[in-house]
């Protein structure tokens, strides 16, 4: 096995903020905001507490940066959705499948959801910005696909709020896994879940159900 290339000092410095954010994520998930100590985050990275404050002035700013860092996949999801082709049904199935993979199936996003719920009252402005920047564009994409399908006659006319119902099963699965882990709610089979989910969804949405 080839020896791993040693990073230069400049490369180590460029990587440091990401290392701190990754370590902060694990500590915030483990202890919550109040219980997390910056020195424990520093220990995970192998730096001093002062080094963490060089990059993030306060624990609050570190928490906000961590939330934003781990929310980037939602922006990537929207970018992927913009490149999809095919019928409204095909594209909606694709984006919902990606949404499922990104939330209940991805440990980081699942735990991020826990933090958003548990710390929402402490950081209402941050959580609102998180929703506006990362979640709202995904919901808007789902809304646009539904309205496109309605306009083309592929979908039957539905209330604008239908997108909330569309994503509800995915969010419910996420919350149940956060509450019970795998003790009472076994990890669902992805293919079986999506097959049943799409059957229920499109038999209510399609103008001519299968």
Overall domain count for the chain:
2
Q: Both 32 and 125 in a single domain?
A: no
| pLDDT at res. 186 | 62
Q: Both 29 and 101 in a single domain?
A: no
| pLDDT at res. 179 | 84
Q: Both 89 and 183 in a single domain?
A: yes
Q: Both 44 and 133 in a single domain?
A: no
Average pLDDT over residues 26-30: 95
Q: Both 123 and 28 in a single domain?
A: no
Q: Both 99 and 178 in a single domain?
A: yes
Q: Both 48 and 77 in a single domain?
A: no
For the chain, the straight-line distance linking the first and the last C-alpha, in angstroms and rounded, comes to: 54
Q: Both 82 and 177 in a single domain?
A: yes
* pLDDT, tens digit, 9 for 90 and up, residues 132-177: 999 999 899 999 999 999 999 998 887 666 788 888 898 888 888 8
Average pLDDT over residues 65-84: 92
Q: What is the pTM of this model?
A: 0.82
Helical segments of the chain, H only: 9-35, 38-45, 49-55, 59-82, 88-102, 107-118, 124-130, 136-152, 162-180, 190-205
Cβ pair 44, 23 in contact under 8 A: yes
Give the model's confidence band at 193: pLDDT under 50 very low, under 70 low, under 90 confident, else very high. Answer: confident
* Contacts within 8 Å (CB) and 24+ apart, 31-34: 32/118, 32/119, 33/59, 33/63, 33/115, 33/119, 33/122
d(CA 34, CA 6): 36
- The residue segments making up the domain with residue 124 are 66-201
Q: Report if residue 2 sits inside a domain.
A: no
What percent of the chain shows pLDDT beyond 90?
49
* pLDDT, tens digit, 9 for 90 and up, residues 90-141: 999 999 999 998 888 888 999 999 999 999 899 999 999 999 999 999 899 9
| pLDDT at res. 184 | 63
d(CA 206, CA 210): 8
Q: Report if residue 95 sits inside a domain.
A: yes
Q: Both 42 and 22 in a single domain?
A: yes
Q: Both 33 and 122 in a single domain?
A: no
d(CA 105, CA 103): 6
């Amino acid at each position: 096995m080839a020896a791993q290339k040693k990073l230069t000092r400049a490369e180590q410095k460029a990587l440091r903020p990401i290392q701190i954010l990754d370590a902060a994520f694990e500590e915030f998930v483990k202890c919550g905001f109040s219980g997390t100590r910056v020195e424990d985050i520093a220990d995970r990275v192998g730096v001093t507490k002062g080094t963490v404050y060089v990059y993030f002035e306060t624990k609050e700013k570190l928490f906000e940066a961590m939330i934003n860092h781990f929310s980037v996949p939602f922006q990537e999801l929207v970018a992927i959705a913009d490149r999809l082709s095919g019928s409204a049904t095909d594209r909606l199935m694709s984006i919902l499948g990606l949404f499922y993979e990104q939330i209940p199936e991805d440990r980081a996003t699942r735990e991020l959801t826990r933090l958003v719920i548990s710390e929402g009252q402490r950081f209402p402005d941050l959580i609102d910005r998180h929703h506006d920047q990362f979640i709202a564009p995904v919901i808007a994409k789902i809304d646009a696909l539904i309205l496109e399908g309605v306009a083309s006659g592929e979908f039957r006319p539905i209330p604008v709020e239908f997108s909330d119902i569309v994503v509800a099963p995915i969010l419910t699965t996420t919350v149940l896994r956060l509450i019970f882990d795998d003790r009472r709610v076994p990890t669902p089979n992805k293919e079986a879940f999506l097959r049943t989910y799409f059957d229920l969804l499109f038999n209510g949405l399609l103008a001519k159900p299968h």
